[in-house]
Structure 1
């Protein structure tokens, strides 16, 4: 059987003097090691490729890995022989810091620090260095300063360039922004997250900035920071479709000072609506205080918590912990109510044994049940609008659905004041919402809603006229666009009350006909039936119908890119909380920004292929 020739000989030719091999690329004579045929090894040849021809070395490694086979007996016997002094030295000599192999490991360590939120000092920890030495004795891990000054900025720069190419190839872009303050030092960060729809109608998102705020958070200062962020990314003001933030007065003023179109976070507005209702009725406020006292008792005592678990086991009740209320999250109040209702038997048994906690009366438990029934539809809306693919097109439909749901005459005795206040607050806080152009046109361009959810024919006709004006100004590219894998469906509705109201509204509008002055394209679009509002995907629908409605597709790409909430920026700061800890509380702001953006892009990739598309991830990771 013929001896199998090594892959390395695809890059070298044996010299007349068999002690040497000639590089096919540069003609250099490379010693083969040893003084006889039996002592020859490919080590020097491989080292020559890795140091002089990096691309060829990579190609060699790929070919070698694809041709792995059991070593012949002759080779196995040879491996038992003692290596030459030269070969031994090559295997033990430390790599230079700029050696390609060393650079590759160093970069991966930098990625690990950024992605896994390790303190930068980990690269100098004895245990970590011992692990690296065991894996590769020839590698010497650089200092912390080398990572902060060279590696992290290089990773950030590569990522920034690729994302810059993507956003500058698009037209209209929407943004979300938020401010976060660190609990272990006085650092505050202002985020800027971009949202757009690509030519294949896939919704995209990327964190552009997380700038350190060094002055008072006034509207004027925030406006200047956001303007600077946009300038750094060469994003002109005419490309900014909409900016979403919370409803804080300084954020509202900042958008006005920066002359940017702004809309308050829908989820934050719903938080204020529910808060108004919960505080409007004394009986409900008292019940909330008792529930907080009950939950606090078990959260502050491990013995009480242990006894509660024991009682749950004996009664066969789910061993769930009681949920604590968080002031800034209204749905935490709902979860607290639900947990108290679920564990009412457990709490009664615990009180009988210990007698150390307040108890809700039967009447109060009945009021809690009614509160849960009123708040559950609002909680489902909050969950839906916070989904990664949720568009601002859902704001008008959901306000109308919630309004009609709260207006239904049901058994609300005992909580009528609270329910009435929630309804009043919903109407007052969202008064005139259908007159906002970005929201109205987005709703009409969403194939789940179209013109079915507007309050009257006047506003419906006015929205159609605005849409016709926009259609007259767009330029249609009739070239076929590449197909792509459709993004996942949006969260389906589960609450039967909301489903019934959706059906009612669509049925009420089923006999409407488009205005006779509409263009044939708009007329055809509006006359087609809406898609399933529970599971329908507007982005997938437009990807499939962009050639049928070319002018409307261009507008849909612009108006559906804005999310309904500023949740994407809040998710960024959930990650930022991991960046600053007791071991990182002195980190400089510019480095925290670079780590924050690198981490956020990885998290967006890891959590959802919808929010950060596979193509972007490939580009992002190709820079590593």
Structure 2
């Protein structure tokens, strides 16, 4: 026994079970490995190449891994403890999987290495030894990523058409670029995948457009996507080539708001004053507590808005409007505070309060539209742009008492009329709107109706021609007939084919027009209904299905990077602080798993 104990003194044996003098079993994967020369060198080399996280622990004075010893002790005493006290390897794997999922969902990487979390795990699972963070990172970058990536390729292969969307979002020096894919399956299920996720820093942001093109090309090659399957590529403002036409609806709408604000000096001054007031209460806790007392205790109002607690303002496009909305909630308390403290700096006059309130009313429909677009397809772009224009025309008429707000609404309407013209006349958005049974031709003029009809007929003909087989070649041996007959037969053959093709085309065009007439004559469905479900339940329009799947996959917004960045804050902060030594490739893999968590991880 003493000799055997001495032969297993190496820390390598915390990971292996000695089966004989020449072989050992790795405790995690239960695979048998040869010891070759009966030493531990080959076992160490296996850890170093295949399990670097475990290998790093061999050089630590405090042994992190006690699992091997505990499992051996468990086997020797199982007859005394009974099966209910056993902690099999399967439960350890389940714990590993749970911790990995928690990290993917943005559990702080620091927490796993913290003393408190370690103590908690000792109470919950005394026999489970927490591994170094790199161990869990390796599971994400190897096992989870490969599983998701394989599932992604399998899912993409089932789609006939795909729309690619690029999005870049930056905040506090952190940038995140995403490439997404949208498609509709043969059973009319909307599919959404995040194909690539790349962290960006200032160095890369100097030439974003060329980087985006490379990422698209590399991803298409890596995923083996046929180029004829990719119908459209939609980019937000940050990923477009400078001075190129932007086709992201939310980017355009935000640009319109910024343009209208930049042209209104009175609103700019009022906004600056509101920011100063908020900062005043942020810097002085005495002033803040006084304001809080007035609002909550003396006026018996709801809890004071959190805007006064945040030292940094939100980078969102509408942050200034959110700030002014918060001030409106404490309007009475601010007025009382300014009077009691004789503080003109934070005093807002009645006409200024009116402008704050009216400005927020003007902007509210735009905020609602951008929120709707974040979850809908391009079919809603033209209708909602028309609705915003109508709202602005009403505002100009209703708020005539305030020249400042009338001017702002007028400039905003003017910006929409000019900047959104390319968008509302883009055939992609026209077709998407027409193929949405909630809207059809309701927002088109006669010219646009004809444009969409012609495009529908063209695409239907293209689909028909793509599926048509070429006419069979004649088997007549022309050398056995005289020259006159040979010439006549050849010309006759061509004429017959042309006439047959012409008749077929005329019949097909007639059939297509009847089909479109039938679709146009059906009543539009309720605006809250799902257009995809409507198409699925109407097989009589099967000829239109390939076109429907092509255009109803286009998203209305390119804003996913903002969502992913917000739920990856812990991970990116940990990585950027150099507490986690990761390659750029592995960072991209972890972001990929985060982005597709809940989409590709269910199998």
Instruction: Report if TM-score (shorter chain) is over 0.5.
Output: yes
- 1:82-101: CA deviation from partner (whole Å, max 9, x where unpaired): x99562499799989xx544
* Residue 568 (1) aligns with residue 560 (2): yes
Matching residue within 520, 545, 548 for 1:556: 548
Match in the other structure for 1:226: 216
* Residue 437 (1) aligns with residue 418 (2): no
Matching residue within 280, 303, 315 for 1:319: 303
Distance between the aligned counterparts of 2:86 and 2:131, measured in 1?
12
Change (3 A) 1:539 1:341: same
Distance between the aligned counterparts of 1:188 and 1:367, measured in 2?
35
Change (3 A) 1:134 1:291: closer
* Residue 146 (1) aligns with residue 135 (2): yes
* Residue 278 (1) aligns with residue 258 (2): no
Match in the other structure for 1:208: 195
State whether residues 281 and 418 of structure 1, in contact with CA within 8 Å, keep that contact through their aligned partners in structure 2.
yes
- 1:308-360: CA deviation from partner (whole Å, max 9, x where unpaired): 22111211333231648958534333323333333221111111222334222
Higher helix share: 2
Match in the other structure for 1:538: 531
Change (3 A) 1:87 1:561: same
State whether residues 174 and 241 of structure 1, in contact with CA within 8 Å, keep that contact through their aligned partners in structure 2.
yes
- How far 1:287 sits from its partner (Å)? 1.5
* Residue 592 (1) aligns with residue 592 (2): no
Match in the other structure for 1:406: 392
3-state SS in 2 of match to 1:519: helix
Task: Please list, as runs of the form range in 1=range in 2, the aligned pairs for 1:440-455 lying within 5 A after superposition.
Answer: 440-454=430-444
3-state SS in 2 of match to 1:291: helix
| TM-score, structure 2 normalization | 0.71
State whether residues 180 and 196 of structure 2, in contact with CA within 8 Å, keep that contact through their aligned partners in structure 1.
yes
In structure 2, runs of 5+ residues without a counterpart are 1-28, 32-74, 466-508
- How far 1:268 sits from its partner (Å)? 1.8
State whether residues 243 and 263 of structure 1, in contact with CA within 8 Å, keep that contact through their aligned partners in structure 2.
no
Task: Please list, as runs of the form range in 1=range in 2, the aligned pairs for 1:8-87 lying within 5 A after superposition.
Answer: 87=79
Match in the other structure for 2:569: 577
- 1:15-74: CA deviation from partner (whole Å, max 9, x where unpaired): xxxxxxxxxxxxxxxxxxxxxxxxxxxxxxxxxxx989xxxxxxxxxxxxxxxxxxxxxx
Distance between the aligned counterparts of 2:315 and 2:251, measured in 1?
9
Distance between the aligned counterparts of 2:391 and 2:100, measured in 1?
52
Task: Please list, as runs of the form range in 1=range in 2, the aligned pairs for 1:203-602 lying within 5 A after superposition.
Answer: 203-213=190-200, 216-217=204-205, 218=207, 219-248=209-238, 251-253=239-241, 264-313=247-296, 314-321=298-305, 323=307, 328-356=315-343, 357-386=345-374, 388=375, 390-408=376-394, 409-413=397-401, 414=403, 415-454=405-444, 456-474=445-463, 519-533=513-527, 535-545=528-538, 547-582=539-574, 585-586=577-578, 587=580, 588=582, 589-602=584-597
3-state SS in 1 of match to 2:596: helix
Change (3 A) 1:310 1:579: same
In structure 1, runs of 5+ residues without a counterpart are 1-49, 53-82, 257-261, 477-514, 606-611
- How far 1:139 sits from its partner (Å)? 3.7
Distance between the aligned counterparts of 2:76 and 2:327, measured in 1?
76
- How far 1:442 sits from its partner (Å)? 0.3
| TM-score, structure 1 normalization | 0.69
Distance between the aligned counterparts of 1:296 and 1:182, measured in 2?
20
Aligned residues: 475
3-state SS in 2 of match to 1:253: coil
Change (3 A) 1:318 1:89: closer
RMSD of aligned Cα (Å): 3.4
Q: In terms of Rg, which structure is larger? A: 2
State whether residues 107 and 151 of structure 1, in contact with CA within 8 Å, keep that contact through their aligned partners in structure 2.
no
State whether residues 176 and 561 of structure 2, in contact with CA within 8 Å, keep that contact through their aligned partners in structure 1.
no
